[in-house]
Chains A and B, each alone.
Chain A
Amino acid sequence: MNLRRVTIYLSLGLVTLVAPRWSEATLGEPAESIARDGEALSAVARSSTSRTGYTIAEISSATTCIREYVTTSGTVFAVAWNGLAHPDLSVLLGSYNQEYRDALGRQPRRLGRRQTQVKSDRVVVETWGHMRNLQGRAYLPELVPEGVSLYDIH
């Protein structure tokens, strides 16, 4: 895998935090699809960690960390975050955003809860945590590599 390309791609994901109108990117897409918009970022790539069957690349702004989970073939199959604010999911979800919004709209509000799970046909989005440490993840169940536990994505 071309790590540099992935790093650029991952950096672009951070656009969620600093340039909310970004519409390129992310879940389910290969690294190549987003290299075109690299300059806009004020975020930094912090680390890249290889695991069996995938790579985690972590990027951070001043207030939020995002971890991107990339298959060995270079496709982002999951994104997780934690920090002061949730990132803009329309960016992180890319082409999956609309079906997520539709599923969210069908789901009744649960008062008193500190987490939620929204499932559409192809994408699962979960948020949890509390003030100062909001967390969440989005993943594509069909693209999660065999042998990878969902508990590892957080």
Chain B
Amino acid sequence: MISIKLLASMLLFSAIVLAAGCGGGGGGNPAPIDVVTDGSTPANVMAVTVNGSLCSASSYLNKPCVSVTICNPDLSVCQTVDDILLDTGSYGLRIFQQAIPSLALPQVANGTGSLTGCVQFADGSSLWGPIKRAAVKLGTEPAVTMPIQVIDATFGTLPLPCANADPSPVSSGFSGILGVGVLAEDCGPGCVFSSANGIYYSCIGTSCTGTTVALADQVQNPVARLPVDNNGLLVRFPEVPVSGVPSLDGSVIFGIGTRTNNTPVAPTVFPTDQNGDFRTIFNGINTVGFLDTGSNGLFFPNADPTVLPVCEAPNADWYCPPLARALLATSVGANGSPSQNVSFSVSNFLTLVASPNNVFSNVAGPSTFGFDWGLPFFMGRDVFFGIEGTTSPLGAGPYVAY
């Protein structure tokens, strides 16, 4: 067995060799590609805490938080921001203006105006603000300059889809959101060809109108822009006991099969469609399924109410079974294969949250359609996300694997 120290030395050596040929990652500042900072933590690892030290106080349950360093493109000023939601259900870094007061980030131009984004979420909320270039550092990966969204509801005039844009971290429940799912941009081809996309606007003064945006100017999945570990990521959380824990430490490891620490051991690979969805069958109903660290429970339709009754109001959006339920669903690749059973459990939400704990592997609630495999799914698993347009030992993205 290779010792950690030896491994670290090998990585450092490979970093020196690789650095010669790769130059900077886009930040204009040539940096070593694989810095081993302390002899044991590889550059491609980012800490995640669920309701732990990286989250703001009074965070909602099952909230995975990371810390991201954001700099002016010339690296003259940097700010490290905690309380950033790790979200495999979206793409790109978005951060509240309030969290980065010291930075002066250049705005991305669009025609004669400045590019501005409106992101709607499935719960009906939205985030609005200018698209700016920033040097983004994930873990101790090299800084890479890319378009991000600076969330600012006071910018310009809110268009209709963002009329309810969140004004502050308190309203959103996070200081920022790091979207690292299987797609490379937040909008993709739909915004390259159509100006009535409801997402991108060109603002001149306070007047903002819908606009087309080249892929390179769209908000980027930061993992897809890394110099080496850009073909995906691995999300890793330990198991959680049935009664929950106060907080949980996990990690995101960038790259798939690019280093010894992200080499997969034969997971099942589920190709996704162009939206990042595969299929999930539960109780005989076949719906879209997606793996989403940004959802704080398992949410699915078609539960038998005698098995999974919802809780009394005002918590009727959670299940409250009288006994813990062991359940089974089937994951299916977007193209029909592979097909594999997945077991999960659901306990009484009200009983669980009556404890001092904040992190639970067995909280679930109803949804209308689509199986939302939220954070509980990730506990006790290694889950891989293969980014579109890349390949790895697991195949060509987009895919999820576990």
Report A's interface with B, CB cutoff 8 A: 17-18, 20, 42, 61-64, 84-86, 88, 104, 108-117, 126-137, 151, 154
Contact with A along B259-302 (1 / 0, CB 8 A): 00000000000000011110000000100101010111101011
- Determine if B190 and A62 form an interchain contact, defined as CB atoms under 8 angstroms apart: yes
Known: A20-B160, A84-B198, A130-B90. A117 touches B179 (CB 8 A): no
- A85-B118, A131-B89 are known; give 19 further A-B pairs, CB within 8 A: A17-B198, A86-B124, A111-B63, A111-B296, A113-B296, A114-B123, A114-B295, A114-B374, A127-B124, A128-B369, A130-B181, A131-B90, A131-B186, A132-B186, A132-B275, A132-B276, A135-B122, A151-B285, A151-B301
Report B's interface with A, CB cutoff 8 A: 60-63, 89-91, 118-125, 160-161, 171-173, 179, 181, 183, 186-188, 190-191, 193-194, 196-199, 274-277, 285, 288, 290, 292, 294-297, 299, 301-302, 314, 317, 367-370, 372, 374
Task: Choose among B60, B121, B186, B276 the residue with the greatest number of A CB atoms under 10 Å from its CB.
Answer: B121
**Pick the contact of A113 from B160, B288, B299 — CB < 8 Å?**
B299
Shortest beta-carbon distance from A46 to chain B in Å: 16
- Neighbouring B residues of A135 by C-beta, 8 Å: 122, 369-370
- Neighbouring B residues of A132 by C-beta, 8 Å: 91, 183, 186-188, 274-276
Q: How far is the CA of A130 from the CA of B121 in the complex (A)?
A: 6
Give the interface SS of chain B, mostly helix, strand, loop or mixed: loop
- Determine if B125 and A134 form an interchain contact, defined as CB atoms under 8 angstroms apart: no
- Determine if A151 and B198 form an interchain contact, defined as CB atoms under 8 angstroms apart: no
Q: How far is the CA of A6 from the CA of B174 in the complex (A)?
A: 45
- Neighbouring A residues of B172 by C-beta, 8 Å: 111
- Determine if A62 and B196 form an interchain contact, defined as CB atoms under 8 angstroms apart: yes
Shortest beta-carbon distance from B290 to chain A in Å: 6
Shortest beta-carbon distance from B130 to chain A in Å: 19
- Neighbouring A residues of B193 by C-beta, 8 Å: 62
- Neighbouring B residues of A84 by C-beta, 8 Å: 187, 190-191, 197-199
- Neighbouring B residues of A20 by C-beta, 8 Å: 160
Shortest beta-carbon distance from A146 to chain B in Å: 21
> How many A-B contacts at CB < 8 Å in the complex?
142
- Neighbouring B residues of A110 by C-beta, 8 Å: 123, 317
- Determine if A114 and B368 form an interchain contact, defined as CB atoms under 8 angstroms apart: no
- Determine if A114 and B294 form an interchain contact, defined as CB atoms under 8 angstroms apart: yes
Which 10 residue pairs spanning A and B have beta carbons closest together?
A: A85-B198, A112-B296, A62-B194, A111-B173, A133-B275, A130-B89, A131-B90, A126-B368, A111-B60, A114-B122
Q: B194 — nearest CB in chain A belongs to which residue?
A: A62
Q: How far is the CA of A108 from the CA of B372 in the complex (A)?
A: 21
- Neighbouring B residues of A104 by C-beta, 8 Å: 124
- Neighbouring B residues of A61 by C-beta, 8 Å: 194, 196
Provide a sorted-by-A list of 19 A–B residue pairs whose CB atoms are within 8 angstroms. A84-B198, A84-B199, A85-B198, A86-B198, A112-B374, A113-B123, A113-B317, A115-B299, A116-B122, A127-B122, A127-B124, A128-B370, A129-B122, A130-B292, A131-B90, A132-B183, A133-B276, A151-B301, A151-B302
Shortest beta-carbon distance from B214 to chain A in Å: 16
- Determine if B120 and A128 form an interchain contact, defined as CB atoms under 8 angstroms apart: no
Q: How far is the CA of A133 from the CA of B90 in the complex (A)?
A: 10
Q: How far is the CA of A48 from the CA of B288 in the complex (A)?
A: 23
Shortest beta-carbon distance from A71 to chain B in Å: 21
Shortest beta-carbon distance from B282 to chain A in Å: 12
Q: How far is the CA of A114 from the CA of B120 in the complex (A)?
A: 11
- Determine if B317 and A112 form an interchain contact, defined as CB atoms under 8 angstroms apart: no
- Determine if B179 and A151 form an interchain contact, defined as CB atoms under 8 angstroms apart: no
Shortest beta-carbon distance from B81 to chain A in Å: 18
**Pick the contact of B198 from A63, A117, A131 — CB < 8 Å?**
A63
- Determine if A154 and B368 form an interchain contact, defined as CB atoms under 8 angstroms apart: yes
Q: A133 — nearest CB in chain B belongs to which residue?
A: B275
- Neighbouring B residues of A17 by C-beta, 8 Å: 196, 198
Task: Choose among A112, A117, A127, A131 the residue with the greatest number of B CB atoms under 10 Å from its CB.
Answer: A131
**Pick the contact of A128 from B173, B190, B199, B372 — CB < 8 Å?**
B372
Q: B173 — nearest CB in chain A belongs to which residue?
A: A111
